[in-house]
Amino acid sequence: MEKNDWTATTFYVIGTQQTTFMFLITLLISINRYIAVKYPLSYKHHFSRSKIIIILLCFIILSTMIGLGNIFLNPRYKKSGFYDYFAPYLESKYKIYYQIFCQLFIYGTISIVTCIFNVMAVLTLKKHKKAGFDLTSVGDFYFLIYLSSELRKALKTNLGCSKKFNNKVNIKVIYRRLALRTVSIYGYIL
């Protein structure tokens, strides 16, 4: 078992790196949407191809550095559970501090900022009266919206930005046929 502990290390490094990268990408998407809605004329300047490549490389480097922090926590495989299955675990007594750092400070901060940018984008769209916008199309917090039907219903009714609520027409239009009388030049009614 000790010969294969490198796989537990690889598991934790890649798992943490990919999780961090996905949170950062979610943040980037929400900032992208906000700038596209709030400042449409300067969008191409802020999100040019070269700037996107630089941002993505920085995200990869940052998430890899956070993932490599797991190496110092001595990941190992251990028999655990009722059925004695092998599972990776962190052997260091400092693992709780690293997990608090990652989960609360990094992921929590990114999640809060992402939600703030999403709400600002939705409010900006609502201000511009974009009736075709549907809140469930915001893909970067789809996991939050689709987890709870009550949350989805509350967001739709309170923010009023769903197609279902904005496209209702309650006005009955009555058409009247107007009888026009035309008089010819000789005085006859046509």
CATH superfamily, domain at 2-128: Rhodopsin 7-helix transmembrane proteins (1.20.1070.10)
Paired tokens of 181: 């009388």
pTM score, whole prediction: 0.63
| Per-residue model confidence as pLDDT tens digits over 47-99 | 899 999 999 999 999 999 999 988 888 888 888 777 777 778 788 888 888 88
Indicate where the chain has its CATH 1.20.1070.10 domain(s).
2-128
